[in-house]
Amino acid sequence: MLKIGITGGIGSGKTTVCKVFETLGIPVFYADTVAKQIMTTDFTLIEGIKTTFGSASYFEDGSLNNKHIANIVFNNEKELAKLNALVHPAVFRAFDAWDAKLSKNIPYSLKEAALLFESGSYKMCDKNILVTAPQAVKIARVTVRDNVSEEQVLARMNKQLQDEEKIKLADFDINNTESQSVILQVLALHKTFLELAASYKQ
């Protein structure tokens, strides 16, 4: 089974694109959602977080003390890197477990992750897709969606690898603007991936 990575900067609409793939019967692993879940279920990850950031990282009921973690890693790239070094391998393990349970009849699966290239997980995928949109469009989407200012959106964007760098690592690009049909672009890629999956089986 092919493993296809998919990513895009904040406001690019990568989740919307993934939903289109799902309507075609393609399973999608949402890495960022899973990352939040496993921080309270993956024993190795939990112990690593406690060791690195202290026992106060978790409440007595086992839930994550988000405020404690945020206070440590917010605006501290060194501490954030420590957290990512713990979380990313745990997400890799979760993806492998998820992928192993999929039906062998499925031609390919998608791994959606905001930090697909930054984390290095794109190297574990057979092909990678980058969802793009003009910066003005992305800013407009996020300000409405998250009810935040343009300055706040730009600050979040600046923490991610820019599209100009990501495009060098991607195999395919989906332009998510009103001027181009996302559905037609997804259908074209779906056909490509089906053909690629068939050739792998031969």
Angstrom distance (rounded) from CA 29 to CA 7 = 12
CATH class of 1-27+108-202: alpha beta
CB 152 within 8 A of CB 110: no
pTM for the predicted model, two decimal places: 0.89
2-32 tens-digit pLDDT: 999 999 999 999 999 999 999 999 999 999 9
Tell me the domain boundaries of the chain.
Answer: 1-27+108-202, 32-101
Angstrom distance (rounded) from CA 60 to CA 87 = 21
Give the DSSP per-residue string, 87-119: HHHHHHHHHHHHHHTS-TT--EEEEE-TTTTTS
Residue 75 CB coordination number (10 Å)? 7
Query: In this structure, which topology does domain 32-101 adopt according to CATH?
Result: Rossmann fold (3.40.50)
144-184 tens-digit pLDDT: 998 989 988 888 888 788 899 999 999 999 999 877 899 99
